[in-house]
């Protein structure tokens, strides 16, 4: 009798007992600090501020685990660089817009290479004195 998986993540449908084992990992960065123009308030449109970005991408690392080659995986450096590029080349008003554009790029650039889903959270630690930080997060499955 086949044991039922307890995991119900976005890649669950791809698990098959008759196929080779799939190794799904989360590759990410935590609290990547970027100084950029982002926000709707007048001072936010002029003065750059720090944002903190958390990124998690579910990725099939099976090929990379066998080859032990960075060319067969998703590099967290690529995620960091992509978030920096987007945040510094455009002056976003909304965190929501940044989140959607980032996830769109991850899906386009890394989906064909094995990315299964993406989570991004952007925090603005300097905005509210009465809270640690406001944030917007987005999670999307690519399958």
What's the pLDDT tens digit per position in 86-100?
999 999 999 999 999
**Residue 5: which pLDDT band, with cuts at 50, 70 and 90?**
very low
What is the pLDDT averaged over residues 4-33?
66
Q: Where are the domains of the chain?
A: 25-141
Q: DSSP assignment of the chain, as one string?
A: -PPPPS--STTGGG--TTSPP--EEEEEEEEEEEEE-B-SSGGGGTS-EEEEEEEEEEEE-HHHHHH--GGGS--HHHHHHHHHHHHHHS-BS-HHHHHHHHHHHHHHHHGGGTEEEEEEEEE-TTS-TTSS--EEEEEEE--
Looking at the domain 25-141, which fold is it?
GTP Cyclohydrolase I, domain 2 (3.30.1130)
Between these two residues, 21 and 45, which has the higher pLDDT value? Answer: 45
Per-residue model confidence as pLDDT tens digits over 29-51: 999 999 999 999 999 999 999 99
């Amino acid at each position: 009798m086949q044991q039922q998986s307890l995991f119900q993540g976005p890649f669950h449908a791809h698990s098959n007992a008759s196929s080779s084992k799939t190794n799904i990992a989360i590759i990410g960065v935590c609290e990547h600090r970027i100084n950029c123009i982002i926000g709707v308030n007048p001072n936010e449109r002029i003065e750059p501020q720090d944002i903190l970005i958390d990124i998690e991408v579910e990725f099939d690392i099976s090929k990379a685990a066998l080859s032990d080659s960075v060319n067969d995986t998703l590099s967290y450096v690529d995620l960091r660089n992509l978030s920096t590029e987007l945040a510094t080349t455009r002056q976003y008003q909304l965190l929501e817009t940044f989140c959607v554009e980032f996830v769109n790029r991850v899906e386009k650039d890394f989906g064909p290479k094995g990315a299964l889903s993406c989570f991004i959270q952007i925090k603005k630690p300097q905005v509210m004195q009465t809270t640690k930080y406001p944030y917007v997060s987005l999670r999307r499955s690519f399958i």
